[in-house]
Amino acid sequence: MHHTKLTRAGIFCVLIVLSFQHIFSTPLQPGDFVFADAQLHAIVRFRPSTGETNYLAPISFLGSDGGIALDSAANIFATVSKGGFGPMAEFYRLDERSSQLVLLAKDPLIQSASRIIVSSDDKSLLIAGEGQDNKYKLFRLDLATATVSVLTTNFHSTFMNLVPADEHPAFLSRAPNGHLMIADNAYGHLVEFTEDGLNRNFLAEMTYPMLLTGVTVDRAGRIFVSGLNLPDKILNLDQTTHLTTPVGDHSLVRAPFDVMAASDGSLIVADPTADALIRVNPDTGEESIFLAGVPSPRTLWEYIGPALQRPVLSVRRSANGITISWNDPVAAWKLESTSGLQLASPWNAVAISLNQTGDLWEAELPVDSVEAYYRLTQN
């Protein structure tokens, strides 16, 4: 009996260590690029430092809807519009353990979602989409409560200075000042908001018949848009004069489906007609292949945040079972457990007391099952 208890304790400790190591491995490192591909139906990571390309998870698409977003801790979020009768947009977070998308919310308030971004405080998703009343709006999904609310419906302008226009917000970007940049693909409007949906600022109307397909703002505050139906596919908008300047030498970019400003100052363009991601130097106009063999890319992101600093963990045997300890100077982490690593197995907060001495936190756990797993998550 004594030998059995020691064996089970030993096995249990190994499982815990492996579980922690796996859960704490993030799929993204600073400098990685991640995008969704509508033909491969996958979320894809490209790591320029090694040249590696990896599929992170499957994702379904309906038409031009759907996309992904990143927060500062390298979490990947996704939206899918299923269509059918009574459609509702669905919102997910990528679980790197299982390489599956875990449902966050499916709210009847939103019929379809075009694009999403994470708010600057990482607490919510900001969504450009269509409500069940067939009106286009900006929505907010609170990540803590999974509740959806309307951020703003303040989309009213004039089309070519002639008739009232009910804009269709479709593409989102964040400016360095924290403001939201929204591109409307129905009337070619660029509109700026603060993140609370207030302080609307109409910036420009693109030359007809340009169909906007993306918007991005670089670290210097320069606004770039991508679009179809005009000879120039990438434009730089001057916020003072509201005039646009063509960007690129037209050697590679033919039909951009999205554009993003990279941390090195270049633009990365998703172009399915080139079967590639294309790098564009906005100053010289030079275009070059950034990543070849990409059938239908969209919603491009670069992870530029620092690697998440995980606590240093220790697992050791104790008189009544095992002790898990970790360094946590600011009490930013909590302990959770699950009975298995399947998607149907929920993670629950561990209902035990934590003994804290200085920066060291300890949890005393009994050994009652080899099928229990534990992890630390941020508060």
* Dihedral sign of CA atoms 140, 300, 306, 195 in order: negative
Is a pLDDT exceeding 90 seen at residue 8?
Answer: no
Query: Which tokens in the block code for residue 294?
Result: 């990409």
Q: Is the N-terminal amide bond of 209 cis, ω within 30° of 0?
A: yes
Q: Are 128 and 138 in contact (CB under 8 A)?
A: yes
CATH number of the domain within which 366 lies:
2.60.40
**121 and 211 both lie in a single domain:** yes
- Can you tell me whether residue 2 is helix, strand or coil? helix
| Domain termination residue (choose one: 269, 302, 335) | 302
| Domain termination residue (choose one: 283, 302, 321) | 302
**317 and 168 both lie in a single domain:** no
Residues of the domain holding 97: 33-302
Mean pLDDT, rounded, for 282-287: 96
Q: Which residue has the higher pLDDT, 105 or 20?
A: 105
Side chain identity, residue 131: G
pLDDT at site 64: 63
Looking at the structure of the chain, the number of domains it has is 2
Q: Per-residue pLDDT tens for 98-150?
A: 788 899 998 889 988 889 999 999 999 999 988 888 888 999 999 989 999 99
Q: Are 278 and 288 in contact (CB under 8 A)?
A: yes
Kindly state the DSSP code that residue 25 receives in the 8-state scheme: -
Q: Are 339 and 295 in contact (CB under 8 A)?
A: no
Residues 6+ apart with CB under 8 A from 23: 96, 97, 375
| Domain termination residue (choose one: 302, 333, 362) | 302
**252 and 284 both lie in a single domain:** yes
Q: Per-residue pLDDT tens for 34-84?
A: 999 988 889 999 999 999 999 999 888 766 667 899 998 889 999 987 766
Q: Which residue has the higher pLDDT, 4 or 127?
A: 127
Cα 20 from Cα 15, distance rounded (Å): 9
**335 and 186 both lie in a single domain:** no
**20 and 147 both lie in a single domain:** no
Give which of 61, 92, 62 is closest to 75, Cα–Cα. 92
Mean pLDDT, rounded, for 230-253: 93
Q: What mean pLDDT is reported for the chain? A: 82
Query: Which tokens in the block code for residue 21?
Result: 């190591």
Residues 6+ apart with CB under 8 A from 18: none
**221 and 325 both lie in a single domain:** no
Q: Per-residue pLDDT tens for 180-197?
A: 999 998 888 999 999 998
Query: Which tokens in the block code for residue 368?
Result: 């009652």
97-106, 318-327, 346-355: segment of lowest average pLDDT: 346-355
The DSSP result for 270-285, as a single string, is EEGGGTEEEEE-TTT-
